[in-house]
Structure 1
C-alpha cells in the first residue's frame, strides 16, 4: 500500500510574508513567537524587520540567533531552553535551512515533553512556521535515507512545519553562487524523485514540473536577477520538497554526508552538481531509460547524448567549484562516506570508481 500525504499549509506569493504571518498567527491564536535565524543567513536586516513587522501588535516576540556552521546538540538544547523560558507558542524559523532544521528539532522535542505550550488551543507543542530564503528546506520525509553515522543529524526527527511561507522577494539580490547552489539542490531533488521507482503519481508530476522550471530559469536568473526568475526557482524548491514524498535519493544522502565531513562549511548544491551526472550514469537501467529520455527533452539534450553527459554540460558553466577537492574534500572523506553508504544501504551500490574521479574532474 502506498501512503501519499502532504501536511503543511503553504503560502506562496510575492511580498506575502507579512500578511501570511499575521493571518496565521491570528488563525492559530499564537501570541508568543520565538524567531530562530542563523547569523549571516537571515536575508539581511531588512528581511528580518519585515518578519517582525508581520506579527500582530500584541505579540511578545523573542529572537534566537544560532551560529553558522554545523548544528550540534548544544545548539538544540540552547534553543529548547530559550523556547521553554519564553513559553513560546510558535517557533518561526527564518532564512537558512539550518535555522529551519533546528526549529523542527526543537518543536519535535517539545511534543515529546508533553507540556501544554499554547494556552489558547491547549496544543501540547508549539506551532512551527518556516520561512525559507534562498536555501531549500531541509528534508522532512519520515523515510529519509540516512547514512550510518550516529553523529549525523537525523531528518526523521524534524517536525513537519504547520505553515510554510514562500516569498520570492526574500531571494532577490542573492549572489549568483548561492542562487546556483539552491537551484541545483532543488533540481537534484526533483530529478531523483522523478526517476525513483517508488509509486507516487502526484509526486512524479510535481517533480517533473520542478525540473522544467529549473531548466528554463536557472541560467537566465543567474545572468539577470529578476523577480520572475526568482519566483520560478522558488517554486522549483517547493516542488523538490513535496516530491520527496517518494523518499530521499542517493545524491542528497551522499551530499549531506560529504558536507558533514567538511563541518557543513560547504553547501549541498555545489556537491550535488558534481554528483548528479556520475550517480545517474551509475543508476541507469532499462527501467530508468524512459524517464531519462523524458528529462533529456526537458533539457534539450541531443538524442545521441546520454542524460548524464547532457546534464554535465548543462551545469558546466555555473559559478560553483569544479571538483570535490576544490571544495576541500579528500580521498579519505570520500572513502569514509562510501563505507557509511554501504553500511546504511547494505549494498555496494556506490563505489570509489564512481566518486573518486570527481575529486579532480570538471563538470
Structure 2
C-alpha cells in the first residue's frame, strides 16, 4: 500500500519527466530506507547487470534478461521494482498482471527496442505470412504481441533449434544476434534491421591494439556486437554466460566487449582477475561503452519509486494477453 502522497504538480509532471522529480534530503539514508520499504511493502528489486553498481548491490536479484524474466514469473512479491529499461518492466507486467510494477525512470528506453516500430514491423510480418516470428526480448510489448516465441541471448540458439527445419523464420529486432544465430544454427533466417547502439560502438582497431598490449588476455563478447568483434572473440555469450566463462577460464586477463555495468558483478565473482573494458569509437574516460538508458536509473530514483510506487508500468490487456503467449513458450523451452 502506498504510504505517502505526492504534490499534484509532481504527479502532473511525471509523464514529461519520466521520474519523480523530488529532492532527496541529505539526511535520508537511502539504502536503509529502501531496505525498510521493501520489507513493509513486500517488494522485490530486480536489477540488470548493466545497472550502476550501487543498484546492483541493493537488488534482491541481479541477472540477464532470461534470469530476470524467470524471477519475475516466479516472484511472490506484491510490488516489483524493476531496475532496468522499459521493455524489461513491461515483460514483468505481462507476466504479473495483478502485481504493481514500477520503474525508476520511464524514459529508460532501449535503442534496440526502438528500432522495431510496431506499424512497420506489422507490415513486414504481413509480407511473410508463412514465417515463424522469433523475437529477441529487447523489444516492446507490442512487438512481443506480434511474435510466435521470444528469446534472450542466453537461450536464442536453443529457441531457434526448437523450430521445425521446414518452417521459415523471421528474427527480430537485432540483426547482429540474428547473423550470429544463422552461423550457429545453419538456419537461413529473415532478419529485421535493428541493432543496439552500445554493442555497435566497439572499435575493432582499438580492440586489436589493446589485445596486442595484453597478449594473454581472452576477449569475451556479447552476440549483439558486430561480426568483426565476434570474429576475434574467444567466447561469445549472454551476460550470465560471460560471467561464468570468466569465472571458469584459467586465464587471468579478460577484455570484456559488452556494456560496462557487467564489470561490477564480474569483479565480485573473480576478484583476482584483471577485467579490461573493450574500447569504443568515442574517446571517453573509461574507454568503454555505457548504455545511457541504463544509467538513467539512480539509487535515489529507485528509492522514490519504491516509496511512492510510481512511475508504474502499464500494458493494455489485449496486448498483454497476446505477448504473454510467446514469453511463456520461451520460459517453457528454457526449463528443459
Q: Above 0.5 in TM-score?
A: no
- Length-normalised TM-score, structure 1: 0.27
Which is richer in helix?
Answer: 1
- Length-normalised TM-score, structure 2: 0.29
Which is richer in strand?
Answer: 2
